[in-house]
Amino acid sequence: MNLRRTVAVAHKEVREIIRDRLFFSLAFIVPAVLMVLFGYGLSLDVEKLPLAIIDRDGTSMSREYAHRFIDSRYFDFKGYSFSERDLEQPITDNLIRAAIVIPEHFQKDLLQGRPAHIQTFIDGTFPFRALTAKGYAIAINAQITADSLASYLAQTSGMSVAEAAAVFQPVKLEVRYLFNQSLKSIWSLAPKLIMVILMISPPFLTALGVVREKETGSIYNIYASTLSRGEYLVGKSVPYIVISTLNVLFLWWMATGLFGAPFKGSFVFFLLSSVLYVTCTTGIGVVVSVLVRTQVAAMIGTAIFTMVPAVLYSGVLIPISSLSRSAKLVAYLLPGMYYTNIVMGTFLKGVGFSALWRDVLVLLIYAMLLFSIGYAFFRKRPNS
Amino acid sequence: MGETQVVAGCSHSVEADRIPAVIRVSALRKEYGKQSAIAGISLEVQKGEIYGLIGPDGAGKSSLMKIVAGVLTFDAGEIEVFGVSLNSDSNAERIKDRIGFMPQGLGLNLYPDLSIEENIDFFANLRLVQSSQLTARKQKLLEMTHLEAFRARPMKQLSGGMKQKLGLICSLIHEPKLLVLDEPTTGVDPVSRRDFWAILGVLLKEHGTTALVSTAYMDEATRFHRVALLFGGQVVAQGAPEEIQQLVPARIVAITIPSPAVALSRLRAEFPQIEALGSLLQVFVEDKAGLDARARVVRVLGDVKPARVETMDPQLEDVFIALLRIKKLTTEPDRTSTLPAAPVSNPTQPKTPYAIEAKELVRDFGGFKAVNKVSFRVAPGEIFGLLGANGAGKTTVIKMLTGILPPTAGSGSVAGADMQTAGRKIKERIGYMSQAFSLYLDLTVEENIKLYAGIYGLPASVARERFRWVVQMAGLEGRESKAAQSLPMGLRQRLALGCALVHRPQILFLDEPTSGVDPVGRRRFWEILFTLAREEGVAILVTTHYMNEAEHCDHLALMFAGRVVADASPSDMKSEVERQSGKLVEIDAVHTSAALDLLVKAGFKGSVLFGSRIHVFSKDVPGDTERIKAALSEDPARSILPRSLTMEDVFVERVMALEQAVETTKNGAVS
């Protein structure tokens, strides 16, 4: 391998990326924009659900019941209403997503020991959100029921309220969430977004960079010269790996600085394995580019090979363990999942090489495989 | 003249026999899927030769050059370069250190965002040129090509001619032994082209470099030592240009005749190759022992008396067409005699003295004046040629006149309607055919024609009638249900013309209509244009970069940097140049570059290298011939003969004068 020729190719590539407006923004602006868009847009927390309450009872107990919902951080109380009909319009306009109806004689029924029925309406257009909201409503309702039972028992038996509560809940479930104590979804999402973005941008850049040369005909400068295939592939991909590494640093800063995700592991380990990962994804771009001829085909090819798997099969939305057998197979065949393990490990768990060496090894094999395929299929004397 | 040329040709091949061939190709075949690109080509290129591959698009030039450069595989046959058989990828690698390759497409292999110097440095680094050598070579090449002042300018901001020269520098920076240039002059104006050939000639001679160069322009054949005429993946003829000329010994008899129909039918019975350009018939008369070409034509004409009869030497293109005809290689179906008669249902057109009138048209793009005060007029029935290099503003003028682009200033009328206010009316009255032929390639011939009939809202009965007319005019009988894609270029082009004519416009705009079409197809196309103009009174505005097509126009406007710098008939333009600069004298010297130096020293400042010949303008031909002889007394030229001017000579002369004027005013402003 001749260093001067390799450097010449790399140097030329860097100049073109920096001077070409499209390539420049693809390289330096698009990753950050994606991070912001996904980071703020893909939040999986359901909070501040707009809520309306119809209180047909109007007693102190019904008001107290309503206040338990009004005070919850999961609901955003928009006001009292008098009839279901009044709610139709705000619900169709998406101003209200949940409503609670407290019936007449709510207090009377409770005081006389009869069960009271609360009706709840939840917007079901997004099943995920609806289920979560239902869970909140059930939890709040259960708490109210337990509290009222406890206070009733305390009144009748002379026990303190706390004692009475303990009688009703002999087994109390204490949940402590590990790694993400307050269960903020952005904490785990931001590191995974680094994986998604670095799965998308380096292959796009690389594939377009190579195929552009095929389209214009400047690839013939390479074909007709004494530059070897290896020199070309290395010279061509190193700039993209370096750019992607800069993006790793920037995205890391966004994840920890902008989105407040904790970073508990070794930064050096994170950085080195990230370089390996972007080498991998750059390799995907190399493989796509040797197989296609036009920039359009390159874009479609990389989109299919990277975007869909990165989002669906790498544990961003659905944990790998919850995937179906065949989907799991897909996940194991793609590099994204392994890097997800690495980012989750270094960001949230604070583990390092000893825990993650298998993932690093897979990425290494992956990178070598991709570049070998690229090398094998890149012909300096094609047949058309 | 003929005799001296034969001698010249022979002496070349004698020299060549002593040295082993640089390129040896035998029975080479290449297919792309089912499509055959090269169907058995054999040829040899000797050391130091400039070998030309000439032929229309699809002749197999590019494929052959790529195979020679080791950047394309082939399917059968053999090829050796520098004695290395290119039968494997690794063998192909062995020759690449000695090869410079410039692929097709003006400047497309260069890097638009890199400056001139960065582009050169990149190529030098790829080729591992030592930095001390690089500095010297770069300096020399940049000076020769007059690019020195633009070292830091990004390639994308260069003109076509500059890109082409930069491409040449980049492919020469490692001083290859073999240079492979694929259509380096396509799309470049004649001045830059001439410049390019001169530089190439000098550089190749200096290092004894061999070159394989392709071109789509027949008239560039004289630039080469030897040429191969390619057609349909086969070699139609090869040898020195003069030798090829001799393959079909003939004369062209040009007769001018006001109503040529009878004359044409009589002549066609006897002479298979006639170019009918309105009242001018150019008859290709093959030599027959003891018979005078002119006398034969006059005899065939019988009682039809032409207004004028002239005889001249055939161009290489005439010979090429004759060879294709003799070898039955042409893709053209047998010609229909003339244009089908147009029905009388001619839509009413407002009668105006001028079909097109442009008055002081200006178009600014940002701060750049693409078109600057352009005025001209085209009468009905006139073929008006708009000439100029790429970027001279031709297409912009057409876009303004057809109402696609509003002018910044100035006015114009087309078919009696004001182009600024009556855009729609204009579009109904004109036909427009673009460089890309504006056909839907996946549709059949019939569907294409009907689509255009529908676009122009023709009633069904008229549409049927026009469909038949187009099919007959374009010679598409029997191919109505073929996809446009499957047609040869020539037919495709005539189908596009038919689509542009479907609504019987009285004005036709043609933007480089013949790019990439083979000579036979091009001629047929021009014959149709002439019939349209002369018999149906259609006004035709055509742009072209084939200078020999410009000769066919009734009137020419020459555009340079957005302005019309000459506006006259071709013959007027020629006589104007002859009046200003003198007659053209062609010198066939034994040692061309040495002779050129001697001539410049002897005071012939305007001497230019034209292939293996030297061209000099002279106001006193007999006197100058003696002076040239005296200057070259030590090594006498093979021939010194006056030569008639071509439109290319006119174009070059005009533009060089203008460039000098620009230069002078600049320098004046500085000092």
The full 3-state SS of chain A, as one line of letters, equals CCHHHHHHHHHHHHHHHHHCHHHHHHHHHHHHHHHHHHHHHCCCCCCCEEEEEEECCCCHHHHHHHHHHHCCCCEEEEEEECCHHHHHHHHHCCCCCEEEEECCCHHHHHHCCCCCCCEEEECCCCHHHHHHHHHHHHHHHHHHHHHHHHHHHHHHHCCCHHHHHHHHCCCCCCCCCCCCCCCCHHHHHHHHHHHHHHHHHHHHHHHHHHHHHHHHCCHHHHHCCCCCHHHHHHHHHHHHHHHHHHHHHHHHHHHHHHCCCCCCCCHHHHHHHHHHHHHHHHHHHHHHHHHCCCHHHHHHHHHHHHHHHHHHCCCCCCCHHHCCHHHHHHHHHCHHHHHHHHHHHHHHHCCCHHHHHHHHHHHHHHHHHHHHHHHHHCCCCCCC
Nearest-CB residue to B89 (from A2, A5, A380): A380
Report pLDDT for B13.
44
Q: What mean pLDDT comes out for the span A322-351?
A: 88
As a residue count, chain A comes to 384
E strands, chain A, where? 49-55, 75-81, 98-102, 119-122
Within 8 A of B66 by CB-CB distance, chain A residues are 220
> Chain B: nearest CA to A235, how far in angstroms?
11
A377 touches chain B (CB under 8 A): no
Residue A348 touches partner B, C-beta closer than 8 Å = no
Choose the mutation target among A3, A12, A232 for the interface with B, i.e. most B CBs under 10 Å: A12
Tell me, what amino acid is at A145?
T
Interchain pair B128, A20: CB under 8 A: no
The boundaries of every CATH 3.40.1710.10 domain in chain A are 49-168
Record the tokens describing residue A159, joined without a space: 């026990």
Gap from A364 CA to chain B (nearest CA, Å)? 30
CA distance B100 to chain A (A): 7
A20 touches chain B (CB under 8 A): yes
Q: Does B126 touch chain A (CB under 8 A)?
A: yes
Residues of B with CB below 8 A from A382's CB? 71-73
Interface of B with A in 604-643 (CB under 8 A): none
Window 191-220 of A, Cβ < 8 Å to B: 216-218, 220
- pLDDT beneath 70, residues of chain B: 1-19, 290, 330-352, 390, 436-437, 516, 610-612, 666-671
The chain A residue lying nearest B75, using CA atoms, is A383
Interface with A, mutate which of B111, B127, B131, B182 (most A CBs under 10 A): B111
User: Is residue B113 less than 8 Å (CB to CB) from chain A?
Assistant: yes
- With H, G, I as helix, E, B as strand and everything else as coil, classify residue B274: strand
Fold for the domain defined by A49-168: abc type-2 transporter like fold (3.40.1710)
Contact across the interface for B128 and A15, Cβ inside 8 Å: no
pTM of the model: 0.79
Q: Does any CB of chain B come closer than 8 Å to the CB of residue A12?
A: yes
**CB-based contact, B13 to chain A, within 8 Å:** no
What pLDDT is recorded for position B9?
39
Minimal Cα distance from A382: which residue of B? B72
B368 touches A: beta carbon within 8 Å: no
Confidence tier at A170 by pLDDT (50, 70, 90): low
Tokens 């994986």: give the residue. A195
Question: What average pLDDT is seen over chain A?
Answer: 87
Q: What is the pLDDT of residue A228?
A: 94
Residues on chain A touching B101 (C-beta within 8 angstroms) = 220-221, 224
